[in-house]
A and B are shown apart, each in its own frame.
Chain A
Amino acid sequence: MSSSAYVQLVDLAKYFGKVKALDGLSLDIAEGELVALLGPSGCGKTTALRSLAGLQELDRGQMIVDGKDVTFQNANKRGMGMVFQAYSLFPHMTARENVEYGLKLRAHKTAGDKRKARSAELLELVGLSTHANHYPYQLSGGQQQRVALARALAISPKVLLLDEPLSALDAKVRTQLREEIRRIQLELGTTTLFVTHDQEEALSIADRVGVMRNGQLEQIAAPAELYDRPNTAFVAEFVGLTNPIAGKVSGGSIEILGGVVKTLPGSITSGSGIALVRPESIDVVANKAGNATVFSASFLGASCRLSISLADGTRVTAQLPSPDAIGLGAGAPVKVSLLDLPVFVKAAG
């Protein structure tokens, strides 16, 4: 653990009765970094975020932000900007008043015209200058979340905390807004912790993604590394799709689909195991003498997903660029092989 980290969460624990919401979570965030916490519901990611915001008391642990221990600091003194999953704009205030609210409460009261300039600047940043005088009920869900983002950023927060801010929005707005969040975050250089259960969201905008399970961090890594080199079976299976394929492990590699590929660190080292193979790691070529047949094919636009029946009756899913999949319809005989990429292997059974 580096001591230079801007945000340090050390051994956080929170138990709700027998449920371990946080069970020894440790996490470092560098200044200006966007870290996403990803995990199934109930894995503790929201509890971690709320603890950092000061909205959740901990049973154990320490939180350091910018060299200062904030573990026992009140939420209203921490200077964290937070955007919530539920719409949280104050309904009796206009968009501008919402954005100005935090500034009004600062200890050294920001002067009126300065406040106005700041709120105008932020509304501009989130693309809502023309809606400054609208009340929340006059704004769409996406617009409300933009204002909420502007409101959280107005106080120049030490850390920006995003608690699934996009999950109430429809798919198109969601994609658009997540890219905008990333743009703004990079522009301002705000250290950000982003909690989500949507892996696409996490992988697409975060510098690093932490996968959580049962109140602990399973693995934290850059998105590509997390996807290509999972450390645990849970991470491999939770992030992206995998085909479980049985094979024999020995000497750091596994024999599957008639080939041998390296195993990733953390895999079992010997005996029979189950390799978790990405669909795009499986190469499919039309071959009359092939040992497999295409069971079904679904066209996804840029790529094509094939369900393939192997000679022994097991079925695997492969994903190919659409041009490579031309002519591979249901029933076509094919030859299946593996690309030379390391795979994670878990114990069989």
Chain B
Amino acid sequence: MGAKAMKKSFGLQLWRRMIIFIVGLYLILPLYAMLDFSTKPFGLAHNTRTLASWKVIPSQPDLTLAIGRSLITALIVMLLILFLIVPTAIWVHLKLPLLRRPFELLCLLPLAIPAIVIVVGIAPVYRWISINLTESPLTLSGVYSMLILPYTYRSLSAALDAVDIHTLAEAATTLGATITRVIFGIIMPTIKSGIVNGSFIAIALVLGEFTISNILNYKTFQVVIAQIGRSNGNVAVAVSVASLLFVLFLLLIIPTKKRQGAVLDVDVA
């Protein structure tokens, strides 16, 4: 019977590995194809390799500026998450339980409304901003912080439900903490993993967003990639691979950073 069980678990192992292998292949093949394409010389010479497309990346007009813009936009969105969305989510969970359902529904709306409809709705606002205030792609952070709501709010809400925040808040209050201290000093560190996950999804979304910035005529990273692609396919693909590697890099460092804290283990205990 022991041998049978072992055989069974071996079969299961094999099956698992096969699935991982197939999924891996599915994910890696396009990347490989992109890498392959980006290192081929322009024209029909198939047997040679060149890094020409990669080398010209830094000299692409607008590109470095666009990367900077997108990163700063992501940073602003991050700050909006930390100082607006997270405290609001905590406030709703803590003090306004009746508003939880409506709030959740509200946060899901950006998912239900097509991007193009959002743009049409929001364009007048942007026209007003650019006429009366300032013309800057960074104002996109405003729209983006709405776009990310379905994902960010979900992950925050799940983290908030996993802990007894009411008791923590009351304990801190009796010890002398103000509500601001309770939110920023007690509850936010407690749901750190939820905030990190939510923010990461948000950053990925902001760095990959194309429709809205393109239609509103702002030159963000994705818009510039698309522009380059129109004149030189190889370079555009090289840039895309580079950006994918960058996101992959983010993906790899953020989870290890978070495991250092004790907060994550609490969810398990």
Residues of A within 8 A of B (CB): 53-55, 75-82, 84, 86-92, 101-102, 105-106, 135-137, 148, 151-152, 155, 161
Contacts and interface: CB of A to CB of B under 8 A. Distances in A.
A76 B173 contact: yes
Contact of A92 (B174, B177, B190): B190
B170 A82 contact: yes
B176 A77 contact: yes
Interface stretch (B34-42, B117-125, B161-169): B161-169
B248 interface: no
Nearest to B265: A137
B175 A91 contact: no
A116 B261 CA distance: 23
Contact of A151 (B168, B175, B262, B268): B175
Given A135-B262, A136-B266, A137-B266, A91 B163 contact: yes
Interface in B14-60: none
A88 B175 CA distance: 12
B167 A88 contact: yes
* CB-based closest 7 A-B pairs: A102-B175, A137-B269, A105-B176, A88-B171, A92-B189, A91-B266, A82-B174
Contacts of A84: 167, 170-171
A101 B172 contact: yes
A219 B171 CA distance: 30
B170 A55 contact: yes
Contacts of A136: 266
Given A55-B170, A92-B189, A105 B175 contact: yes
Contacts of B190: 90-92
A310 to B, nearest CB: 51
B192 interface: yes
Q: DSSP majority for the B interface?
A: helix
B176 A137 contact: no
Interface residues on B, range: 20 to 34
A81 B177 contact: no
A154 to B, nearest CB: 8
Contacts of A90: 168, 171-172, 186, 189-190
B263 interface: yes
Interface in B228-269: 261-263, 265-266, 268-269
Contact of B176 (A89, A91, A106): A106
Contacts of A89: 171
Nearest to B182: A76
Contacts of A137: 262, 265-266, 268-269
17 contacts: A76-B175, A76-B176, A76-B178, A77-B176, A78-B174, A81-B175, A87-B164, A88-B164, A88-B170, A90-B171, A90-B172, A92-B266, A101-B175, A105-B177, A105-B181, A151-B171, A155-B176
B167 A86 contact: yes
Contacts of A91: 163, 190, 262-263, 266
A53 B170 CA distance: 10
B160 to A, nearest CB: 13
Given A82-B170, A88-B164, A90-B168, 12 more contacts: A54-B174, A75-B170, A89-B171, A91-B266, A92-B192, A92-B261, A105-B175, A105-B176, A105-B177, A105-B181, A137-B265, A152-B174
A92 B263 contact: yes
A82 B163 CA distance: 19
A59 B211 CA distance: 55
B114 to A, nearest CB: 40
A167 B16 CA distance: 45
Nearest to A93: B189
A75 B174 contact: yes
A54 B170 CA distance: 10
